Structure 1
Amino acid sequence: MRVLFTVYPSFAHLWPIVPCAWALQSAGHEVRVATHASFADAVAGVGLSPVGLGDPNANEARMRPDAKAPPGPEDVLRYAEVLGLDEEGREHWIAFYQYLLNAVSDYVRTDLPDASDLVSFAKVWKPDLVIWDPTFASGPVAARACGAAHARFLMGPDCFAWSMDKLAERRAELQAAGLSENPQADLVRPLAEKYGIEVDDELMYGQWSIDPLPPGLGLPNSSTRISMRYVPYSGTETLPEWLYEQPERPRIALTLGESTRRFIKGDWGRTPAIMEAVADLDVDVIATLNELQMDGVGTLPANVRRIEWVPLTYLLPTCSAIIHHGGMGTFAASIAFKVPQIVCDTDESLLIRAVEEEPSAGLCPRCAGAGDQGALDSGTYRVGWEFGVREEAREKVTQWEMPAKKLESTPTANYVLGRGNGVRLDHRTQSVDEIRKSILQVVTEPAFQDGTEAAYQEWLSRPSPHEIVPMLEKLTEANRRR
């Protein structure tokens, strides 16, 4: 059969689908991966065939100055109140409404060629199955347009389906409050109507979902899910010679993710605290951080080697522990290689707040001296801006104050704590000495290795990408419409 994946143009969205795409390809199926044309080479680089969408010479949609901005906190919290959400539920809603829907908005636009290019390709190539990134919601529209079966590939806790279930439960209350019954449907509807496609639950949830999360990490919802083991993949390069042998003393990996390094200068003061904490320990630290993430760090400790990048699948087998940002790919890779985890997380809400500033005045008081381009303060983001891609100042900018944590860091930290295979690092509340003691504890106490072994066995109990291929074949046969 023919299988078309759609992915948001980011390595954090591409790498999770690679083992599943390879499994289908190795089983004899034709596989294509559709994404923005500027990211097509990245797809080809992982051994898959790209379909470039939109203008290859243009920045992708999130880098356009007219990209959708996050809704304001008042709007977000008004929904949460009408939906009757508790504190934990409010965080799931914020993740969906203030973060994820922004990404969804980028590739359902009818004023840009990307979504239309996807539908046109699907009509010509006629895939039997479309597997779509939940943030790339033109995928199910293309599937409907060509009669293909379609499924979501989950990248983290399913805030999409969880939130839409809550919206459906409170439909009457939302109508009474003058709020939309389904903000995601509102985003997708113009594209769907362009092709005469009904916006219904199937278009929102997929006919089924491929769920690579371990038990206990997902969110309860009404979608149909197929379990799959999250097989780690993080790119390839020539294996560095220093990784040929196991280190003589404990090695700790330090990684703070691929996403925020592109648009947040510094790391909320977290990196300097970690560097100070590890400086006096009898360990070797491999810090995969770029210059922006190192902002605020003075002299590098003698026991720290900083390299901008090395695949985690190369590094982790040599490590006794990992300090990381709580991202799903890093978390899963650490389990797969049986490495105890120190997950960076804070107690603050995910809620994003906006601050408007004139560039001539500096983006904010903490950014004084950042230069004419207004380099972003640590912990801030603005629409259509990325280091090295779009850095030009505009007449007026809106700066969004981000919480000092990854979107999934709290769920992953809770999982690690619950399984006993690591600890939580909160640089907002812990002293350098407390951070140092936590790191040493994870490296030296056997109980954390026991917890890591238990988490590994739970991970191993899930079917591999290869093992779910026959089920995907059967579901495709039962659900395609031609």
Structure 2
Amino acid sequence: MRVLVVSAPLTGHVLPLLPLAGALREAGHEVLVATAADALRAVRSGLPVRDVAPAFDFGRIARGVMLRHPLVARSELAGTAGTRGAGLLFGAVNDQLADGVLAVGREWRPDLVIHEPFAVAGALAAAILGVPAVRQENALFDGRELARATLARLGPALRRHGLTDLPPPAAAIAVAPPSVLSQDGWPMRYGTDLGDGGLPDWLREPGERPRVLVSRSTVAGPGSAGPMPAVVAVADRVDAEFVLVRPTARLARRGLPGNVRTVDWIPIPAALAASAALVHHGGAGSVYAALTAGVPQLATVGAGDRRHNAELVAACGAGIALRARDVTADALTRLVTDVALRDAARRVGAEIAAMPGPAELVRRLESLR
């Protein structure tokens, strides 16, 4: 069968869709990824990718939405807007994706559409084409509520195509471990399949001291630098090795402590295999990466879904939630020495490892035809 995979045009949104897409291809099905902008990076997986919005500019859309809705913008920056802010923003995003996704669908004629909750343009295309739609989770919210919030703001696109509403998906795929979050759908082990290409040899083995990866958001905007500056400021007082992943040019030019190194883009899940912990900006992909690896994490509380994500990490005991400015040497020392954090992270990692892999869902998807 032909499977169209639809993602919002952001790297962190498309990467979690690739393992299942790859499993479908390995099973002999044709797969095409429909997205735009930064998410075109998915081509590195070897899957065919189609740009459905060549002029897409996420920053411009976000600024426009926030200017029109200042109260929601304030809540969004504080991380308290929940799905309300996401609905406004990704409603506008999907309005720009809808026509391009539908055009690709009409040309390519898929038998099945898989989309993430932030890409309901995929569900719209499936409804018009008369094929099943499957929602695959990639966040730490309830995907049903995310899809509803986005769809509520998709009126113009629906009207353009003669629709007033969309049918429920034929199925949903849940990737969150139940001990962290209950999601609706078939369970599937989370992953981001870009392999381990580009990982330096020194990151493949543990170092002499506990290694802590420090990452930042792939999306430019408020708080995108995450906790990196705070970590650098106190690193020399912590008995650990810190690796800054894609630091800003300004930070990389600074005189860094002797126990701080820098790398460009690397596959973080692969690097976590030989690391003791992850410090990050609170993005869902980073949370899942550390949980899957079974290592403790420090997630900073920030805008969008980052407060929600960080608080879930702290609630399950697998990590620490702090504002970036509150990251201290004591907090980082606790991250690499606290046995309770390590044990909780390992328990969640084992829970994820026991979930069905993407290849195990192929038969279930085939049955939807």
- Matches of 2:141 and 2:284, distance apart in 1: 12
> Residue 426 of structure 1: CA displacement?
2.8
Which residue is equivalent to 2:177? Answer: 214
SS in 1 for 2:105: helix
Deviation at 1:159, TM superposition (A): 5.1
Work out whether residues 265 and 292 of structure 1, in 8 Å CA contact, stay in contact via their aligned partners in 2.
no
Q: Residue 250 of structure 1: CA displacement?
A: 1.3
> Highest CA radius of gyration, 1 or 2?
1
The 3-state SS of whatever aligns with 2:163 is coil
CA contact (8 A) 1:15 1:235 kept: no
How many residue pairs were aligned? 366
For the structure 1 residues 99 and 144, does the alpha-carbon distance in structure 2 shift closer, same or farther, using more than 3 Å as the test?
closer
Kindly provide the CA deviation profile for residues 299-334 of structure 1, in whole angstroms up to 9, marking residues without a partner as x.
211110022322113321111122112222112121
Indicate the percent of aligned positions where both proteins have the same amino acid: 26
Partner of 2:28: 28
Q: 2:314: which partner in 1?
A: 417
Aligned to 1:72: 69
By percentage of residues, which structure has more helix? 2
Contact 2:17–2:192 (8 Å) recurs in 1:
no
* Deviation sequence 1:112-132 (CA, Å, 0-9, x none): xx5323223212322111111
- Answer yes or no: is the 8 Å Cα contact 2:87–2:146 preserved in 1: no
Contact 1:68–1:106 under 8 Å retained in 2:
no
1:449 maps to 342
> Structure 1 residues 444, 217: CA separation in 2 closer, same or farther (over 3 Å shift)?
closer
Aligned partner (choices 229, 250, 254) of residue 189 of structure 2? 229
Q: TM-score, normalised by structure 1?
A: 0.68
Q: Of the candidates 95, 111, 114, which is equivalent to residue 128 of structure 1?
A: 111
AA at the equivalent of 1:136: A
Equivalent of residue 193 in structure 1, options 152, 159, 169: 159
1:352: which partner in 2?
Answer: none
Is this contact kept in 1: 2:174–2:188, CA < 8 A?
Answer: yes
Which shifted more, 280-289 or 68-77?
68-77
| Structure 2 residue 329 is matched with structure 1 residue 436 | yes
Matches within 5 A, 1:187-336: 187-200=153-166, 202=167, 205-218=168-181, 225-233=185-193, 236-259=196-219, 262-264=220-222, 267=225, 270-291=227-248, 294=251, 298-336=254-292
Aligned to 2:41: 42
Cα root mean square deviation, aligned? 3.1
1:162–1:219 contact (8 Å) kept in structure 2: no
TM-score by length of 2: 0.87
Does the 8 Å contact 1:5/1:33 carry over to 2?
yes
TM-superposed CA distance for 1:189, in Å, is: 2.8
Question: 1:449–1:265: structure 2 CA closer, same or farther, 3 Å change rule?
Answer: closer
Helix, strand or coil at the partner of 1:239: coil
Matched to 1:98, the amino acid is G
Aligned counterpart for 1:142 among listed residues 125, 131, 135 = 125
Q: Does 1:11 align with 2:16?
A: no
Tell me how far apart the structure 2 counterparts of residues 199 and 54 of structure 1 sit (CA, whole Å): 23
CA distance in 1, matches of 2:181, 2:304: 14
In structure 1, what residue type is equivalent to 2:31? Answer: V
Gaps of 5+ in 2: none
Partner-residue secondary structure (3-state), 1:187: coil
Check conservation: 2:2, 2:110, Cα contact below 8 A: yes
The 8 Å contact of residues 229 and 460 in structure 1, kept in 2 or not, is answered as yes
Give a deviation string over 1:19-44, Cα, whole Å, max 9, x none. Answer: 011111111111111112x5575232
Relative to structure 1, is the Cα distance of residues 244 and 308 closer, same or farther in structure 2, using a 3 angstrom cutoff? Answer: closer
> Structure 1 residue 253: deviation in Å?
0.9
How has the CA–CA distance of structure 1 residues 67 and 29 changed in structure 2, closer, same or farther, with 3 Å as cutoff? farther
Gaps in structure 1 of 5+ consecutive residues: 81-89, 166-182, 346-404, 478-482
Change (3 A) 1:414 1:458: farther
C-alpha spacing 1:466/1:265, structure 2 compared with 1 (3 Å): closer
Deviations 1:246-294, CA, capped at 9 Å, x for gaps? 21121111112212xx3448747x4332212221222111111332573
1:462 and 1:49 map into 2 onto residues whose CA distance is: 27
Corresponding residue for 2:357?
Answer: 464
